[in-house]
Structure 1
């Protein structure tokens, strides 16, 4: 090949690659959350997660970190997202869905990017894509919800599919949405300092379920918060809710009732998508039993 042709080839290849390297920081795929530890209580991520295949992601948008997610490449689904709760200062933004170039290309930008067509096959293989959710009978369920994030950029950053799990509409817009609002109101009324939240998904125990034969469907959603500084004049009935509290929600109305009982008096549209409130210790016990890992979510149990 002539030198002139080689130059044209190299220039063309570089132009094709530039969109993947558009961020200011390159290649932040790593084995830890060292770039975004502030989203965890006492800058300490959950410990005890021993299974292989999980990828820490510092969720970066508009050259800023907004939260953290632990992503499973094989199930194309996050185990959890961790964030600092801050009430939204505006309305929910229009859903502009994004993906993570860094999962597809080890030297790509760490900035989440909008989905484009056609998608590179490496992107499709490395993570969930919008096509997976079409005609799936599942909604896109946020682990870090938009309403728990303050600025427009914070809220837009939650619309990455690495923060999303397949969630039934009866849960997403029903009891689970109620839990998210409850936690937000509790923070505003009683938490004097930061509230660290970790929200995750629990897959089926015996037989995994999928959408599009690619993305793991959770049987349950779970969430826990840590608010170490709170009002000293808490009403007696609220004292069990601080400094930590947790919950597990059903994502399958046909699941057994061992973890979360069903309220038979609930409306037909939400019956079977109940949420059970519980202590942090109770949630960690369920995660240990279901995931086979002795997970500790907050350093020192948020004390």
Structure 2
């Protein structure tokens, strides 16, 4: 046996997955987003994210970085995904869901990969898997939605479980979906340069809500955009929405109304999944209180 074959066999035995020999390269997990800073305004990620367990991921698909995600290993869900919005040049793809190999193996490929059957034990321990969503009564809620990405490959890349959180169907296909479409319309109508978007999840205040003691459920969704270059002449009612604005959406219809009030005129099944739009400072204040961290989403407040 040649030296290279012995090395591959050794690595495969160590990982209990021989077929991974083809993918063994130096992993790219870092403690920062140095490989994918272009997805952030002024190439500066959100400041103030503190605490153990957070893992920056430069999401790579077919040898190209597509967006960035701050992932929480213990909760097996992302805190946020950051991306540059664009109008899709085609339909929403029907994709095979993917995972992040380097979360499971430090020397694994830095590219997201489709799930295989059975799922490797190291993958299950390191991140969410499809089984976590089965019979959970939650949908897979994109933080970076596929229809906010121009090319088919960019849209396919959003179908990784490191980019989704457990989201109620009433939110995912209701008010939150409407917000995503509205943000895209604002980009197309008023932005004259890139629009940077950061979308994330907010945990419950007092205790973590778990799915099978594996994956945490957010109480709210949140999103903010930054459009530093926009049209000089915009309608008066639109001016307060630029260069930056934000929103918080309910993911639990039984939550209190301190953060997002419920519109009693909305009929079920969408009642209780309301979205409240707000200035960036208001969102950052809510996140600071709920996440216990002085988070600042956009460098210079997007000025």
| SS at 1:19 equivalent | helix
Q: Using a 3 Å threshold, how does the CA distance of structure 1 residues 165 and 221 change in structure 2: closer, same or farther? A: same
1:68 equivalent in structure 2: 68
**Retained in 1: the 8 A contact 2:226–2:245?**
yes
Distance across 2 between alignment mates of 1:19 and 1:270: 45
| SS at 1:208 equivalent | coil
Structure 2 unpaired stretches of 5+: none
Distance across 2 between alignment mates of 1:140 and 1:102: 21
Distance across 1 between alignment mates of 2:202 and 2:8: 46
1:124 equivalent in structure 2: 124
Question: Map of 1:107-186 to 2, 5 A cutoff?
Answer: 107-186=107-186
Residues 144-153 or 25-34, more deviating: 25-34
2:203 equivalent in structure 1: 203
Distance across 2 between alignment mates of 1:10 and 1:270: 56
Q: TM-score w.r.t. structure 2 length? A: 0.95
Q: Using a 3 Å threshold, how does the CA distance of structure 1 residues 105 and 245 change in structure 2: closer, same or farther? A: same
Distance across 1 between alignment mates of 2:8 and 2:23: 16
Question: Map of 1:21-60 to 2, 5 A cutoff?
Answer: 22=23, 26-60=26-60
Listed one character per residue, the Cα deviations across residues 215-249 of structure 1 (whole Å, up to 9, x for unaligned) are 11000000000000001111100001000000000
Distance across 2 between alignment mates of 1:20 and 1:79: 31
Q: Using a 3 Å threshold, how does the CA distance of structure 1 residues 65 and 10 change in structure 2: closer, same or farther? A: closer
Question: Map of 1:252-271 to 2, 5 A cutoff?
Answer: 252-271=252-271
1:301 equivalent in structure 2: 301
| SS at 2:59 equivalent | strand
User: How far is the alpha carbon of 1:19 from its aligned partner?
Assistant: 2.7
Q: Using a 3 Å threshold, how does the CA distance of structure 1 residues 234 and 34 change in structure 2: closer, same or farther? A: same
Q: TM-score w.r.t. structure 1 length? A: 0.95
Number of residue equivalences: 298
Moved over 3 A (4+): 6-18
Does structure 1 residue 193 correspond to structure 2 residue 193? yes
User: How far is the alpha carbon of 1:21 from its aligned partner?
Assistant: 5.0
Distance across 1 between alignment mates of 2:36 and 2:120: 28
**Retained in 2: the 8 A contact 1:21–1:109?**
no
1:233 equivalent in structure 2: 233
Distance across 2 between alignment mates of 1:216 and 1:207: 10
Structure 1 unpaired stretches of 5+: none
Distance across 1 between alignment mates of 2:4 and 2:62: 33
1:97 equivalent in structure 2: 97
Listed one character per residue, the Cα deviations across residues 125-144 of structure 1 (whole Å, up to 9, x for unaligned) are 00000000000000000000
Distance across 2 between alignment mates of 1:145 and 1:20: 32
| SS at 1:71 equivalent | strand
